Amino acid sequence: MSNVYIEKAEEAVLHTYNRYPVVFDHGEGVRLYDVDGKEYLDFGAGIAVQSLGYNNKAYTRALKDQIDKLTHISNLYYSVPMMEAAEKVVKASGMSKVFFTNSGTEAIEGALKAAKKYAYERDGKADHEIIAMNHSFHGRSLGALSVTGNEHYQIPFRPLLPGIRFADYNALDSVKAQITDKTCAIILETVQGEGGIYPATEAFLKGVKALCEEHDLLLILDEIQCGMGRTGYMFAWQEYGVMPDIMTCAKAIGCGVPVGAFVLGEKAAEGSLKPGDHGTTYGGNPFVCAAVSKVFDLYEEEHILENVRTVGAYLTEKLDALVKKYDFLKERRGKGMIQGLEVDGRPVGEIVVRALENGLIVMTAGGNVLRFVPPLVITKEDVDLMVERLIKSF
Ligand SMILES: *Cc1c(COP(=O)(O)O)cnc(C)c1O
């Protein structure tokens, strides 16, 4: 059956993805099922989105209830779900104000605009520069692409935003070298995801924060992939005690509905975007905000952070054991439930394809890394089964 669907899809859908030949039908917990009824253990979670697992009953109930009441009203009016969702983001982050978007890339766009506006308000000039990191990933729209440190993604779409300078991640001197009197912000992922699962070192993140304070720059932390509990902290920066001036969220913040956010600390909230500076038709509508609001409640009720810490430690242990056992596994990186295994001398894509055949979903990152970003509700038994299916796929 699936071949028919795949052929029909390829006839009508623009071919921007080389998709795996699987047609999924439904999901339950940490498992997905294809149209032929085959079961898959999911350590990809729809790219770090489905942190509560599939078909979480309390979550789907909240969405169904909201659909029956109201889905969209535009941002010209208030809604209770938006008020509640914003309140919960502010409380969890300790930051000041939220703007809801429809995706991660739009959250980045908003963050970049807020940073530029902050600098413009400060000195009245409109030629500010932003420092971004090599091997970063911030999204596919033109602004987000401009700060994505990957030439392969950028070249066909140039000219991109002017005034973007790239530095090396986890190399403070390299960042320092890019600061000019026009710099207004530094943007980085707290844990680089697509680039190959590289967590920021504590010295680097604290050093960048100190540079920002010294030069009155805004620190933008992209928490789209590593945030929402994935490292064992609601936001990855909380482990370092380094609060950004602007944070971007998406992926797991909606657990399956398209929503993102950029969140401003007091300084950025007071001194940047004003009425008329930014907008969105759909962003933060009652439907997606009901999802965000329920996600925060369920994180507490289901003790998600605790589970990431205990089962994440178990996952770390098991992945370390694999690195010890197999020569072609070079190193494990990451923390909690955002982990990578660097593969050396074997095509990582082939392992992923064979894993899929063996009923395991894993993804790649950075070209030679196996990426593990499972739903945050996995158990130790799920980790054991993952390892079993992965070894079968080597
Ligand atoms: C996925 C991702 C984005 C882009 O989010 P979209 O919702 O795909 O637009 C930006 N930054 C990071 C770190 C991501 O992982």
Instruction: Supply the residue whose CA is at minimum distance from atom 8 of ligand 1.
Output: 104
Question: 80-93 and 286-301 are packed helices; what angle lies between their axes, rounded to 10 degrees?
Answer: 40
Predicted confidence at residue 321, as pLDDT, reads 98
Q: Which residues contact 147 (CB under 8 A, 6 or more apart)?
A: 108, 112, 130, 132, 136, 138, 161, 164, 187
Q: Angle at CA 387, nearest 5°, toward 385 and 392? A: 100
Residue 328: DSSP 8-state: T
Could you identify the atom of ligand 1 that is nearest to the CA of residue 225?
15
Predicted confidence at residue 1, as pLDDT, reads 76
Model confidence pLDDT, tens digit, residues 101-151: 999 999 999 999 999 999 999 999 999 999 999 999 999 999 999 999 999
* Helices (H), ranges, 194-329: 202-215, 237-240, 266-271, 286-301, 304-325
Taking 90 as the threshold, does the pLDDT of residue 193 lie above it? Answer: yes
Taking 90 as the threshold, does the pLDDT of residue 33 lie above it? Answer: yes
Model confidence pLDDT, tens digit, residues 234-293: 999 999 999 999 999 999 999 999 999 999 999 999 999 999 999 999 999 999 999 999
Tell me the average pLDDT across 224-229: 98
Cα separation, 137 vs 367, in Å, equals 13
With CA atoms as reference, report the closest residue to 59 among 312, 281, 252.
252
Torsional class of 37: left (φ above 0), alpha (ψ -120 to 50), beta (otherwise):
left
Predicted confidence at residue 235, as pLDDT, reads 99
Is pTM beyond 0.85? Reply is yes
Could you identify the atom of ligand 1 that is nearest to the CA of residue 226?
13
Tell me the average pLDDT across 190-201: 98
The residue to mutate among 225, 226, 228, having the most atoms of ligand 1 within 8 angstroms of its beta carbon, is 225
Tokens of 248: 């971007």
Could you identify the atom of ligand 1 that is nearest to the CA of residue 258?
7
Percentage, residues of the chain above pLDDT 70: 100
Q: Angle at CA 28, nearest 5°, toward 23 and 33? A: 25
Model confidence pLDDT, tens digit, residues 326-368: 999 999 999 999 999 999 999 999 999 999 999 999 999 999 9
Q: Which helix (H) or strand (E) holds 41?
A: strand 39-42
Residue 175 has φ and ψ, to the nearest 5°, of -70, -45
Bridge partners, 392 (sequence order): none
Predicted confidence at residue 372, as pLDDT, reads 98
